[in-house]
Amino acid sequence: MKESKTVEIKITGIVQGVGFRPFLYNLARSLNLNGYILNRGNAGVRLVIQGYPQNIQKFIEEIRIKRPAISFIENIETNNLDFEEKFEDLEIRKSEPGRGISLTLPPDIAICENCLKDMNDPQKEKYYQYPFIACAVCGPRYTTVNELPYDRERTTMINFPFCHQANPVSCIQEYSDFNNRRFHAQTFACAVCGPHYTLYNKNREPIKDKSIDSILQETAEMINDGKIIAIKGIGGTHLVCLANDEIILKLRERKGERKYKPFALMVPNINTMEDELEISNKEKELLTSFRRPIVLLERKKSIVNSVISQQIAPGLNNVGIMLPYSGIH
Ligand SMILES: [Zn+2]
Ligand SMILES: [Zn+2]
């Protein structure tokens, strides 16, 4: 133990809810460092790590280089500790209590490529067609957090305890395995333990439950019949209908106060809109970013009979467009 030293590291920024603890765990492990990692009540992360000085040095350098793409590091503070105790292993410890600053939480994060792949892969039975699929780098964040530090028991996912028996691997096993991309992820679940969709008629009576396949089938038929559906999603409810003049006017009438206020449109991909709307590279970048914001795009002047109803944004020359960002979309 002579050459090894012990260092306390405090990191601030957007470092909770972005897969930071599992990232630090695997980085520290690859450099043979022991000690512990925890979330702090003030929205930061604190570590005490022990190992060879050159490895600790490398560890601190690589935090900035390899950090999760959606994280943001404001500051890394290090203090040498005069420490007699020898750590035998590396662990993620229980978070420290305290007051959180909600501004340092990430927004909800669009479904990632890996989750999208799993959701569409019949071989990945556990998540196949499960619309609430998520992992340590994607899924709901801001809208699920009740309080910091960021842990499942302080999110709305507290109502969905991890399963212990799902096949081939349970959620609690995924959560505990540092090789798994759901290691220490807080807001994921599966079809066994997580939330489900139910389809209700306008009298709020359930008409279809759980089987997402049949719910989507029936919903699609109703939309094609000119009905307006409300779909509860991450962070709010979407109104879904055909976007033609007649139906949009019906929607405006039902919403009462919304005679002219523009609606935003969700489109399946950017190509769908390229003929109709001006899209710069910067706008493309924004649309496809993990935040999936609504971006205002200008209608092309050359288009005479646009497929986008004038009733979407009456009297305006631009339209708010967004891309799908969750499994249900
Ligand atoms: Zn994911
Ligand atoms: Zn589960």
Give the CA distances from residue 8 to residues 64, 83, 277, in Å, rounded to whole numbers and listed in that order.
17, 10, 52
Residues that place a CB less than 5 A from ion ligand 2: 163, 166, 171, 190, 192-193
What pLDDT is recorded for position 234? 86
| 3-state SS class at 14 | strand
Distance of alpha carbon 208 from alpha carbon 97, whole angstroms: 42
Distance (angstroms) between ligand 2 centre and the Cα of 80 equals: 41
Distance (angstroms) between ligand 1 centre and the Cα of 289 equals: 14
Distance (angstroms) between ligand 2 centre and the Cα of 146 equals: 21
What pLDDT is recorded for position 216? 93
Residues that place a CB less than 5 A from ion ligand 1: 112, 115, 135, 138
CA 138 to chain centre: 4
Note whether 92 and 184 are within 8 A (CB).
yes
| pTM of the shown model | 0.84
Distance (angstroms) between ligand 1 centre and the Cα of 111 equals: 5
31-65: burial string, b at 16+ Cβ within 10 Å, e else: bebbbbbbbbebbbbbbbbbbeeebbebbeeebee
Bond prior to 262 in cis (omega within 30° of 0): no
Ligand approaching nearest to the C-alpha of 170: 2
Tens of pLDDT, residue by residue, the chain (329 residues): 458 999 999 999 989 888 899 999 999 999 999 999 999 887 789 999 999 999 999 999 999 999 998 898 999 999 999 877 899 999 999 988 876 554 577 889 999 999 999 999 999 889 999 999 999 989 998 899 888 888 898 899 999 999 998 778 999 999 999 999 999 999 999 999 999 999 999 999 999 777 899 999 999 999 999 999 999 998 889 999 999 999 999 999 998 878 899 999 999 999 988 999 999 999 999 999 998 999 999 999 888 888 899 999 999 999 999 999 999 99
Domains and CATH numbers, the chain: 5-98 (3.30.70.100), 113-176 (no CATH), 257-322 (3.30.110.120)
Distance of alpha carbon 171 from alpha carbon 189, whole angstroms: 7
